[in-house]
Amino acid sequence: MPVTEEKISLRKKYKALRSGFSPDLKKFMDEGIFENIVSLAEYRRCALLLTYVSAESEADTHRLIARAFEDGKTVAVPKSLDKNGNMAFYEIHSFDELKKGYFGIYEPVPEKCGEISLFDGAVCIVPALSYDGKGFRLGYGKGFYDRFLSEHWEMLKVGICYSQCLEESLPHDEYDIPADIVITEISVKDHRKEKGSDGK
């Protein structure tokens, strides 16, 4: 099967799987992912947290954002700039600074927020439908994170997904950048030791 068709098939599979989780199961899994993130030494040390604002079927980040506010961290969330895969991160101080943007996803309101352009020491929470055993991700096919991470691959990339959405191997090419750490509700896997000296 060609890579593009395989990815389309896998996206359908995992979207359907996530949509089928009961509210109680999803809540249980979200709790486990949250606890594993905030237990990371890298999370505790970081001053800047970059994270998506989760949609209904995604691994929840709302509680993480609220916790990061409480922990005194700078929190920045992405805004789609166009439909060509370009996005920027804006600092938010509350959920009131968000509104629905492209694809119905909650995004920062630029008039209320400042754009973040320096990412030193940041931890970036990376969304995906699936991750594999080497940290490669199956995204949503829009290219926003692919483009952003290709320009900022040196930051710590933490992928989160449900354990039922893990694959042994996902289709990827030489330009794809794997997550440094992949977190599910039951596991934390550090892939950094598997990478080359340049971190890729």
Per-residue pLDDT of the chain (200 residues; tens, 9 = 90+): 566 889 999 999 999 999 999 999 999 999 999 999 999 999 999 999 999 999 999 999 999 999 999 999 999 999 988 878 889 999 999 999 999 887 788 999 999 999 999 999 999 999 999 999 999 999 988 888 989 998 988 899 999 999 999 999 999 887 789 999 999 999 999 999 776 544 44
Class of domain 3-193: alpha beta
Query: In whole angstroms, what is the distance from residue 86 CA to residue 92 CA?
Result: 19
Query: In whole angstroms, what is the distance from residue 137 CA to residue 133 CA?
Result: 10
Q: What pLDDT score does 179 carry?
A: 96
Q: Is 148 helix (H, G, I), strand (E, B) or coil?
A: helix
Number of H helices, E strands in the chain: 5, 13
Q: What pLDDT score does 195 carry?
A: 61
- Beta strands 123-126; 156-160: pairing state: parallel
Cβ neighbours around 23 below 10 Å, total: 7
Q: What pLDDT score does 78 carry?
A: 95
Query: In whole angstroms, what is the distance from residue 51 CA to residue 71 CA?
Result: 15
Tell me how long the chain is.
Answer: 200
Q: What pLDDT score does 1 carry?
A: 54
Output the six-digit token pair for 13.
């599979």
